[in-house]
Amino acid sequence: MQIFIDLANWLRAWILGMGISTTATELILTAVWTLVVILFVLINLIVLVWIERKSSAFMQQRRGPNRLGPAGFLQFPVDIVKVLGKEDITPAAADKFIYKIASTCAFVTAIVAIAVIPFGPGMVLENLNIGIFYFIAIGSTATLSLLMAGIASNNKYSFIGGMRTVAQMISYEIPMVFSLLGVVMLAGSLNLTDIVASQKNMWFIVPQCIAFIIYFISTVAETNRGPFDLAEGEQELVAGYFVEYGGIRWAIFMIAEYGNLVAVCAIATIMFLGGWNAPFGLTFLPPFLWFMLKVYCMIFLFMWVKWTYPRIRIDHLMHFGWKFLIPVSLANIVVTGIGIYVYRMITG
């Protein structure tokens, strides 16, 4: 961890030594770390796609990719080269400007959301006092990019997929926010670094186990992962909101999906699993590796659920969110508030 801090300090001193002003130096450093985050997401994507293909193949009793590279690890890079070579076709009746920027907006949203996530002590691009509020706000805008793709394509399947996206993501965003509110009440802060520090003795998944389950279910719907991937239901909508997209524009949507997956799993790690705090006081791994290990465990849980359960109906999905998850999440907030009040009364 100290290596990253020393590298940042050296880079700052080197830029200042060139006679560049402090403000310009900070802007340059921010640009550098932003590029590092983007490269991290893209490199991480190769690993995640390989893990998902292999894990799904294992659950379905088949081999998965096994030709390109060791155990098929280079299959995804080859796929990227393939989609880069495909012709970029825009439907004649589409709203061309909105159609072309929709996938880019989805990718940018996924990258910007990672800006406030602390991967370790001092390893955060922007340590905001309202970090979790920022993450929720940025996550809400992801709905717009999928809606843009669905409407701008001028296709009935895309349009229905876009409408489903709005209904699904807005509906499940409510219980997701309520589940996080209980953790904020316990930590007494919206700063993600402070929330991790408050779990040094006990992870919040213990007192907030119900909130963790609600958060997990809600984020499965928020990221359009199976069995809640109704916005791209192949058996009904061909491919949903991106049915008219091909080549690299389609690939960008997939990259954004995995970027969002990493982001929500990182937030789950920070809010419920102690962040970079090692379990049982174990310190044989640096904090960053503990954090990433927890994130990858959460990602595997998402993959496990996707390849285990079949896609459900849209009306069942909506009823479950509004009639069950929201009341339970509200009840959790009330119980948490009562528990905090009683604890303070007892401890004086």
> What average pLDDT does this structure show over 85-106?
85
Average pLDDT over residues 86-109: 86
* Token pair for 229: 């991937």
Q: Percent helix, strand and coil across the chain, each rounded to 5?
A: 75, 0, 25
Of 59, 95, 39, the residue nearest 255 (C-alpha):
39
pLDDT tens readout for residues 33-50 = 777 777 877 788 888 889
pLDDT of 216 above 90: yes
The encoded tokens of residue 271 equal 């809010």
Confidence of residue 157 (pLDDT cuts 50, 70, 90): confident
> How far is residue 228's CA from residue 235's CA, in Å, rounded to a whole number?
14
Q: Name the residue type at position 62.
A: R
The pLDDT, as a whole number, for residue 107 is: 86
Q: Kindly report which listed range (9-13, 294-298, 314-318) carries the lowest average pLDDT score.
A: 9-13
DSSP secondary structure code for residue 241 in this structure: G
The number of angstroms, rounded, from the C-alpha of 286 to the middle of its chain's C-alpha atoms is 23
Q: Is the pLDDT of residue 328 over 90?
A: yes
Decide if pLDDT at 296 tops 90.
yes
**Distance in angstroms (rounded) separating the CA atoms of residues 196 and 192:** 6
